[in-house]
Chain A
Amino acid sequence: MSEVATTPKFKSNVHDALTDARLQGALVHARNFTFRRVAAAERLPEFEALRDSARAIKDHTLLHLDLYLEAYERKVRESGGHVHYTQDAEEARTIIVDLCRSLGAKTVTKGKSMISEEIGLNQALEAAGIDAVETDLGEYIIQLRGETPSHIIAPAIHVTKQDIEQDFRRAHRDLPPNRDLSEPEQLLAEARGILRAKFLSADVGITGANFLVAETGASVIVTNEGNGDLTQILPRAHIVVASLEKVVPTMEDTAQLLRVLARSATGQDASVYTTFSTGPRRPDDPDGPSEYHVVLLDNGRSSMLGGEFENMLRCIRCGACMNHCPVYQAVGGHAYGWVYPGPMGAVLTPSLIGVAEGGQLPNASTFCGRCEAVCPVRIPLPNMMRHWREREFERRLSPTPLRYGLGFWAFFARRPTLYRLATNLAARVLHRAGRRKGRFSSAPFASGWTQYRDLAAPERTTFQSQWRAKSGATK
C-alpha cells in the first residue's frame, strides 16, 4: 500500500474537513468545473453519442484485455521499448527504483500520475536516495506541503493562493525574501523558473498515461502545462507507469476517448497538450530519451474483470464524478482517506484495499445519481456502491444497530396488518407529543437527525387508517 489509509475514520475526517474554514473556502472553486462541463457538452451536439461510443470502446477492450495487452507489448518492443508487468505496488516500486539505480539516476522528474500515488513511488525513490520532483504545478505544490492529491486531476484544489505563497517562501530560500508573490502569475513564473532547472538536470522522467495504444505502442498523456513533455523528452530515460486497463485498441479509439475526456474533466474541448510517446529516441529523431520503459500495474484490477465491479475499469479518470458529488463538494478529497476520492474512489478503494478498510466510502453516499449522470463512460457508480453495501451486509460488517434496526423494521414491513396497526399507533403517539409545535427539536429515537435539524411531527393518524375509515363509511 502506498500510504496508510485513514478511510476507516472517514467520519472524523469529515468532521475535520467541515470545521476547516480555510478548506471550505478553497472548495468553493471546485464547483466551477460543473458549469464548464455543461457549457462544453452544449457546444458539441454529439456529446451524448460520444459517451455511448466511449463506453463501448472500453467495454470491448476489457472483454479482450489480454489480447490488447499482448498487442500493445509487442508494439512497444518493436519500437525499442520495454514492458514490465507488475502484480502489486511493491513489485512496481521495486522495478522502478531498480531501473533508476541502474541508470545512475540522482534526480527524477515526474509528470502527474495517480498510479505513482497508488504505489507510493515518491517515498520509495526518496528512500533510495533519489530526488523525485513533481513537475505538474498542483503536484509540485502538494509535494512541498508533504500532502497527497485531494482530486485526481486538480491535486491542489484544496489549497489557496495564500497557502501557495507561504509554501514557496518556505521552500525557495534562495530567492529574494521581499519579492512580490501576490498574483497567481507571479507564483506560476516562480514555479516555472525552479522547475526549468530540474527538467534540465533530471536523469529519468516518469509519467503516467491516460491511454496506452495497442495499435502503435504509444503512451498518451494530456496536460495543460506542458510539464509532461519536458519530463519525458529531456532525461536519458522515460518510464511510464500505468495500470493495465489504460490500454485501448486503436488511435481512432484514443481520439474518441480524448473527445469526452477533457470536456468531462475541465470543460475544455481538448487539453492544451496531448502527447504521444512511442519508444526511445530513433537515430534521426532530434530529441527524446535513449531508454523507454513501461511499468504496467495490476494491483487487484485483473480480479475485477468478469465480476460486478468490472465496469469500474472503464474509468478514464476525468474527475467529473467528484466535481458533481455533494459529498466531495462538502468535504474535499482528503477526507476519503486513501488515493482516490469521490464516487470513483468510493467504488475503487474497497476493491483495492479491501472492504473492511474502505467500506465507509460506498456507504457515505445519498445515491443522488449525479455521478452516473455525468460519467463520460456511464459507469453505474451508485449501483456499484450498493454492491459493496451488499457484500458488507453478507459478511456482517455493517454496523450492528443498523442490522438490528433493519430486522425490526422488516418484521413489520413484511406483515401489512401488523404494520398498519403499529404505524398508526406510532403516528398517533408522535402526533400528540409534537402537534403543538408541529415538530421535535430533539428526539431520542432520531438523534442523528435532530442534532442538526428539526423533525416534523406526524399529521394525525396514518393515511391507510384514514382511508379505511373513509371508504368503510362511504360503502
Chain B
Amino acid sequence: MSETSASAAPAVRKQPRVGLFVTCLVDIMRPTIGFAAVKLLEGAGCKVVVPAQTCCGQPAYNSGDRATAKALARQAIETFADCDYVVAPSGSCGGMLARHYPDLFAGEPDMAVKAERFAEKTHELVSFLVDVMRVESVEAHFDGTVAYHDSCAGLRELGVKAQPRRLLASVKGLTLIELEEAETCCGFGGLFAAKYGELSNAIVSRKAVDIHRAKVGAVLAGDLGCLLNMAGKLQRDGSSVKARHIAEVLAGMADGPAIGEPQGEPGR
C-alpha cells in the first residue's frame, strides 16, 4: 500500500465525460430542461457533450415493435460509445436505456454485453447528481410551495425517490409538500394517453384532485411526459397550479413561462 502516492484514485478526479440524452420530448417541446440539465451537470464538474440523437425507442418497444426498438437501441449505444456516462432528464427514457436495453438483446451475446455496459453507465439526471457526483445541495432560489410527483419509471425502475427531495430541500425559498398519492401514476403512459384518452383522463383527473388538495403553487416532476399530462389537465380545469421539470428549479432556470403558459414574444 503506498499512502504517499499523489495519483491515488485518479478515476474519481478526472472530469467525467457525460453524454446528455436529451430525450425527444425535451428536445422538441421544452429545450429549457436540456439547458438546465447541462448547467447542473457542469456545475457538478462534468464535461457535457450532446451527440446527434433521436429517441430511445420506447414508443416502439411498448407498442410491440421490437425490431424498431432494437434498431434505435443500437443507434443510441453507438452514439454514446465514447462517453463515461449517459444522463437523461427523465426516469422513463433512463429506465428504457438502463433497464430495457439489456432485455432487448438477451439471447444476442455480442449486443447484450454492449447493452449491459451501456446500461451501467446510464443514469437519470437527479439520481446521477446525488448518487454518482455526490452533489448534496444546489445554489438556487424558488419562491413558493411545490409538490413533487414521483414518475413511475424513475421511482420503480431506477429508485429515484430520496434524491430529488434532498436537492429540493436545498433550494432557498422553496417549501415541499408531499402529495397523498405521490407514487400513483398520472395516467400518461406514452401512447396510452392518446390510445386510451378517456381512461388516461380519469387517472390524471384524480392526480389533479390530489395536487389541488396539497394547495401548492407548482407541481414538479422528473419526466416531461408526466408534466405535459398534468399541466394539460390542470390548465383545462382552469387551475392556476404551474408545472415544471425539477431540473429547471434546481438549476435556477425557472423564471421563464411554466409548461403550457403563454410565451410572449416570438422565438427565433
Contact = CB atoms under 8 A, between A and B. Distances in A.
A383 B200 CA distance: 20
Contact of A366 (B71, B203, B228): B203
A455 B64 contact: no
Nearest to B33: A463
A11 B214 CA distance: 32
Interface in A360-390: 363-370, 372-373, 383, 386, 388-390
Contacts of A369: 152-153, 156-157
Contacts, number: 219
B113 interface: no
A413 B50 contact: no
Contacts of A458: 28-30
Interface in A433-461: 435-439, 441, 446, 448-449, 451-461
B260 A466 contact: no
B137 interface: no
B54 interface: yes
A419 B54 CA distance: 7
A327 B199 contact: yes
- Most chain A beta carbons < 10 A, residue from B31, B34, B57, B190: B31
Given A366-B189, A406-B60, A464-B53, A414 B235 contact: no
A432 interface: yes
Interface stretch (B3-11, B122-130, B179-187): B179-187
A363 B262 contact: no
A398 interface: yes
A367 B267 contact: no
B261 interface: yes
A326 B197 CA distance: 14
B236 A452 contact: yes
A313 B133 CA distance: 43
B185 A467 contact: no
Given A365-B189, A446-B194, A409 B59 contact: yes
A461 B185 contact: no
Interface residues of A, number: 71
- Most chain B beta carbons < 10 A, residue from A368, A386, A432, A435: A368
Given A326-B187, A331-B202, A459-B30, A453 B232 contact: yes
A22 interface: no
Interface in B33-73: 34-35, 50, 52-55, 57, 59-66, 68, 71-72
Interface in B147-189: 152-153, 156-157, 183-185, 187-189
A17 to B, nearest CB: 9
A14 B198 contact: yes
Nearest to A409: B59
B176 to A, nearest CB: 21
A416 B197 CA distance: 30
Interface string B186-219: 0111111111111111111010000000000000
A457 B152 CA distance: 24
Contact of B64 (A11, A392, A409): A392
B225 to A, nearest CB: 10
A29 interface: no
A372 B50 CA distance: 34
Interface string B112-156: 000000000000000000000000000000000000000011001
Contact of B62 (A386, A431, A449): A386
A416 B153 CA distance: 26
B201 A453 contact: yes
A420 interface: yes
Given A330-B206, A432-B266, A461-B268, A11 B198 contact: yes
A421 to B, nearest CB: 11
Nearest to B261: A438
A416 B29 contact: no
Contacts of A398: 63-64
A435 B267 contact: yes
Nearest to A410: B68
A414 B259 contact: no
A438 B257 contact: yes
Contacts of B103: 383
Nearest to A471: B50
B60 A390 contact: no
Given A11-B196, A14-B199, A406-B68, A436 B262 contact: yes
A453 B63 contact: no
B22 interface: yes
A463 B195 contact: no
B152 A366 contact: yes
A455 B228 CA distance: 7
A462 interface: yes
Contact of B31 (A329, A426, A457, A459): A459
Interface of A: 11, 14-15, 18, 326-327, 329-331, 363-370, 372-373, 383, 386, 388-394, 398, 402, 406, 409-410, 412-414, 416-417, 419-420, 423, 426-427, 431-432, 435-439, 441, 446, 448-449, 451-464, 466-467, 471
21 contacts: A18-B199, A330-B206, A331-B199, A331-B202, A366-B152, A366-B188, A366-B200, A386-B62, A393-B64, A409-B59, A413-B24, A413-B57, A427-B28, A432-B266, A435-B263, A436-B263, A438-B262, A441-B236, A455-B232, A459-B30, A464-B52
The 6 closest A-B pairs by CB, nearest first: A366-B189, A453-B232, A393-B64, A389-B64, A460-B267, A368-B185
